[in-house]
Chain A
Amino acid sequence: MLANVFTKTTQDWWKGMTIAVATLGAFFLFGMAVYRDIDLSIYDQMPEALRTMFGIPAGADVASLAYGAIYSSYGALTIAAVVLVLGAASIAGEEREGTLGLLLGNPRSRTYVLASKAAALVLITVFGALVLWVVGRITPTLLGTDITGIQVEALILHIAVNALFYGFLAMAIGAWTGSRGLASGVTAGVMALSFVAVGLLPLVESLESLVKAFPWYYYNGSNPTLNGVDRGHLAVLFAGIAIFAAAAVIGVNRRDLKGQTVGVTMIDRLRANPMTQNVADRLAGSARVSSIWTKTISEHQALVFITASLMFLVMGVMIGPMYNALDEALISLTDSLPESLLALFGGGDFGTPEGWYQLETFSLMAPIATIAVAAIIGGRAVAGEEANRTMGLLLANPTRRSTVVYQKTIAMVLAAATVGFALFAGVVAGSLLGGLGMNVGNIAAACLLATLIGLAFGALALALSAGTGRVAVAIYGAVAVALVFYLLNAFIPLSARIAGWARVSPFYYYLGSDPLANGMHWGHGAVLTVLAVVLIGLSVVLFQRRDLRQSG
């Protein structure tokens, strides 16, 4: 039913959330089942402080760790990411599609449209939270797990409010600027940075109080899984939501709506200036359009530049010196932990610089960065030109379809390699700054493997893009598959019975050989490379066989 903007938006949006919570729910079930297999002696060995840190209440089964491991980290991130994407799309998305003008041709105010979108955002979030809640309640009963002391409702309430915080932030930026890319990019940046900061800062005594400056702290700083709802923290998030909502109303009402019009960039100004015209023309004009791959790179330059800079500075350079500031007590604590439990948190330990970098940089953030960059470029490669209805024009030139795929692949490889190299340079610098003395060759190996894992999933996105011609299917499909394999690789080894199955996950070939400690494992590198090459070959075959889509 399309009675109004609210119902239409809800109908457009529910699928993404359903897929996200269904995946999370399945993994929750899987994770809790795997945890039952873990040797219970781990639990007894754990000091009380660590138990609290990892979110296991006294008296509960180890299996209740699933709440902390799956819901409170991956779950919160995933739900927030979905809501963020929808929030960014709400005004800026319709503007980009050119449908906002049409919508406002009806006797409805901008505020009405915005309010409808906001209501749909809230409803979708509540729906996602409800599914998580039902799964979170039913699973322990099914598996006979004792979850005494786990505050399921409190955790889920925190997850939902946290997600809305980022959703409304993205909506406000979209409403002010009309740029969906800017809205989702900035918000995702804020979220990622704040997630990392909240994980990192408490480990260093002198920096601990800074953590309150990051919004993620108000989601899990109070550890709602164990301590229940923290009204004060939720109030902070709600205040943020209210401010963003108000900002969105003001933003969307005060500015000109965008058509297809694009903003004036720095390079445009340089091209207009007679003094810089020649150089700028060469940069922005002739070089950019000299071939399909240069044009593709130039379309994604902001994405590549920002991601590479973040990896260099934050995940590379800054992590090194922090190692020296680590709480000694914490290091000795983690030294006492059993291997299998450490594996759960990324396989590194605080005891060595390599383990520290593995835990903070390589286990999660590095593959997120390379996969995101490669999957976005790969996913847009073919389908993006179809969605923008430029593919027909492009292929009116004497260019093979296979050439289009290969040229876009070149752009994807260069972009992923740029991120990988920035990470390498950052980690080397961080190691030097912190005087950690890490092996440069091993760092290079880990960064190469990070690039390759990104390319493997980028190639999957490319194959989906070439096969279906749908951008959303390609990007979200590849990211969803990556998430599934990531979690498989993280959780399967916990159960000795099925540990061998981790090899089915590409992530096993990324850090499975512990490259930071052992250097390059060429066999594993080859597996990832072959996977990428096969998927790229498949892309060509799929694209050559099908009809071009006339629109997105």
Chain B
Amino acid sequence: MTTTIAIHTEGLTKHYGDVKALIDLDLDVRTGEVFGFLGPNGAGKTTMIRTILDEIRPTAGRASILGMDSHEQSVEIRNHIGYLPGDLSMYPNLTGRDTLTYFANLRGGVDWGYVDHLAERLDADLSKKVGDLSSGNRQKVGLIQAFMNRPDLLVMDEPSSGLDPLIQREFQAMMREVAGEGRTVFLSSHTLSEVQRVADRVGIIRHGYLIALEAVAALRSKAIRRVDLFFDKDVDETVFVGLPGVRDVESQNHHVVLSFDGQMETLLKVATERYSLIDITTQEADLEEIFLTYYRDSDVTA
């Protein structure tokens, strides 16, 4: 591939009747990176993927993949991509191997040694009928199908659903290897932790708008945490309001909850100075909290 841009969209917009599923999306995904596409359910992730794959047509704007127009050259594009749809469905009466043979025939052949290697890594059983597999095992067949022709671009919509943690880790390693070979992964997900582990950059989409585009390292530095402080008696929560990095303070009886992304030392000092702190728990904030906290200003009401 001569181009350095794997996916390029310009003002990409998709309306379903009155529903605006995707609005004016400008995005560049570079070759050789794992790009995480993050957003809550219904944000427009799947619409974006289906649009660039020519399953559905944009209301406005355009997209190109590997330098080719997503609509005009869609057949040529598909020689170079592997795709795993969200909510995967396959032919229940075919075995995994039949399914892969079918798609391999449509592609004009496949390296079966590589298929077996993938099946081994993902611990997939290709001899059973797809309809008899659990959803996680079915997902494995879908993953092999996406990886098997060593595509230049892998487009995957919520690929980890149903996979157990061990297989998820293996799958994440496979994605890193693809990027390591200079190929590209476009990974749609609603799980921040997964994207953090594997992606180089993330785009965050909400209500059809791309509201942030960041390197994962930068996102991690913003890592907001939810902090629960437990005291031996009721406390005046206002002492925490206004501290650097503290937001959304709430209290109930002896318990104070707040969102925090500053220096822990400052917080602890205030908490222990005047009260007796019994316990403290912190946890990674979920995606929604990050959105609410960091992207409130950019939240264009849709």
Contacts and interface: CB of A to CB of B under 8 A. Distances in A.
Interface of A: 259-262, 268, 284-286, 288-292, 295, 299, 388-400, 547-548, 550
Interface in B186-234: none
Given A389-B87, A398-B76, A286 B129 contact: no
Secondary structure of the A contact surface, majority rule: loop
A389 B91 CA distance: 9
Nearest to B100: A289
Given A262-B132, A291-B105, 11 more contacts: A259-B131, A295-B91, A299-B93, A389-B85, A393-B83, A393-B85, A393-B89, A396-B85, A397-B106, A398-B76, A548-B50
B129 to A, nearest CB: 6
A308 to B, nearest CB: 21
A260 B92 contact: yes
Nearest to B132: A261
B117 interface: no
Contacts of A291: 105-106
B91 A390 contact: yes
A393 B95 CA distance: 16
A547 B55 contact: yes
A311 to B, nearest CB: 26
A299 B94 CA distance: 10
Contacts of A299: 93
Given A392-B50, A548-B55, A262 B102 contact: no
B107 interface: yes
Contact of B56 (A262, A289, A396, A547): A547
Contacts of B89: 388-390, 393
Nearest to A392: B85
Contact of B102 (A295, A389, A398, A550): A295
List the 10 shortest-distance A-B pairs measured between CB atoms, nearest first. A396-B83, A547-B56, A289-B102, A389-B89, A397-B106, A398-B78, A262-B131, A548-B55, A398-B79, A260-B131
A261 B50 CA distance: 28
A396 B57 CA distance: 15
A181 to B, nearest CB: 12
B75 interface: yes
Contacts of B92: 260-262
Contacts of B57: 547
B6 interface: no
A143 B135 CA distance: 62
B129 A262 contact: yes
B90 A290 contact: no
A106 to B, nearest CB: 22
Contact of B98 (A259, A261, A285, A400): A285
B295 interface: no
Contact of B78 (A261, A284, A396, A547): A396
Interface centre among A289, A295, A395 (most CB of B within 10 A): A289
B78 A393 contact: no
B132 A398 contact: no
Contact of B75 (A268, A288, A295, A399): A399
Given A390-B91, A393-B83, A393-B85, A261 B55 contact: no
Interface string B242-254: 0000000000000
B155 to A, nearest CB: 8
Interface of B: 46, 50, 53-57, 75-76, 78-79, 81-83, 85, 87-95, 97-99, 101-103, 105-107, 129, 131-132, 142, 145
Given A390-B89, A398-B76, A290 B132 contact: no
Contacts, number: 89
A284 B79 CA distance: 27
6 contacts: A261-B92, A285-B95, A289-B99, A289-B105, A299-B93, A397-B106
Contacts of A286: 101
B108 to A, nearest CB: 8
B56 to A, nearest CB: 4
B113 to A, nearest CB: 18
A272 to B, nearest CB: 9
A299 B98 CA distance: 14
A435 B145 CA distance: 59
Contacts of A391: 55
Given A261-B131, A285-B97, A393-B90, A290 B105 contact: yes
A289 B55 contact: no
Nearest to A286: B101
A518 B173 CA distance: 73
Contacts of B106: 291-292, 394, 397-399
A393 B130 CA distance: 14
Contacts of B46: 550
A508 to B, nearest CB: 40
Contacts of B85: 389, 392-393, 396
Contacts of A393: 83, 85, 88-90, 103, 142, 145
B40 to A, nearest CB: 18
Contacts of A396: 53, 78, 81-83, 85
A441 B75 CA distance: 46
A289 B98 contact: yes
A292 B91 CA distance: 13
Nearest to A288: B98
Contacts of A289: 94, 98-99, 101-102, 105
Contacts of B98: 284-285, 288-289
A392 B94 contact: no
A285 to B, nearest CB: 5
A396 B79 CA distance: 9
A400 B79 CA distance: 11
Contacts of B50: 392, 547-548, 550
B90 A390 contact: yes
A369 B278 CA distance: 80
Contacts of A395: 53-55, 78
Contacts of A288: 94, 98
Nearest to A548: B55
B298 to A, nearest CB: 29
A397 B102 CA distance: 10
Given A261-B132, A262-B93, A392-B83, A397 B103 contact: yes
B78 A397 contact: yes
Interface centre among B82, B85, B99 (most CB of A within 10 A): B85
A262 B94 CA distance: 10
Contacts of A389: 85, 87, 89
Contacts of B93: 262, 299
Contacts of A550: 46, 50
A179 B16 CA distance: 35
B102 A400 contact: no
Contacts of B102: 289, 295
